[in-house]
Amino acid sequence: MAEYLQSRLFDPLGIAQPEWLTTVYGATRGAGGLWLTPTDMAKLGYLYLKNGIWDGKRIVDEEWVADSTREQASGISSISGVNIGGGSYGYQWWVVEAASHPAFYANGYGGQLIFVVPDLNLVVATAVAGTDVNDPEDQQPVLPIVEWLIGLAS
């Protein structure tokens, strides 16, 4: 997957080959384990804000962007019955409202967040917390802060 995405997604966005978490067999994981800088995360958010267009070129299919950023599932775990994202779920994006604005976001480990509010032409990328699973105090909950700031701005 890393090789496939490098030439088709990361190179056009100007993202150097990122580090990926791999399985014991050397395969990359599709749903997580990708190390990006906040600037590179913002590039992905901006690509989706612009419906898959980057620098005047179509990088991601517009229909895929639309499908992935609208509800595909309720977001409620069938195992725990808990909604960990605060909204519905698209394809790798949580779909929410922020201060009455439709929004979507990708939520990564340790405070990594790409938050997109299309009608405000806004992309927010955060990478603020540590990654020690044994230290929950180090896991800064950034989502409420971002939503609060969007409320102030709108």
The answer to whether the predicted template modeling score (pTM) of the entire model surpasses 0.85 is: yes
Taking CA atoms, 139 is separated from 131, 132, 147, in Å, by 7, 8, 17
Domains: count for the chain: 1
Taking CA atoms, 70 is separated from 14, 15, 90, 131, 151, in Å, by 27, 26, 5, 29, 21
**pLDDT value at position 131?**
58
* Residue 133 banded pLDDT, cuts 50, 70, 90: low
Q: Which domain holds residue 32?
A: 2-153
pLDDT digits (tens, 9 = 90+) for 63-119: 999 999 999 999 888 888 888 778 899 999 999 999 999 999 998 877 789 999 999
CA distance 89 to 37: 24
For residue 92, give the CATH number of its domain. 3.40.710.10
Indicate whether 128 pLDDT > 80.
no
CA 64 to chain centroid, in Å, comes to 15
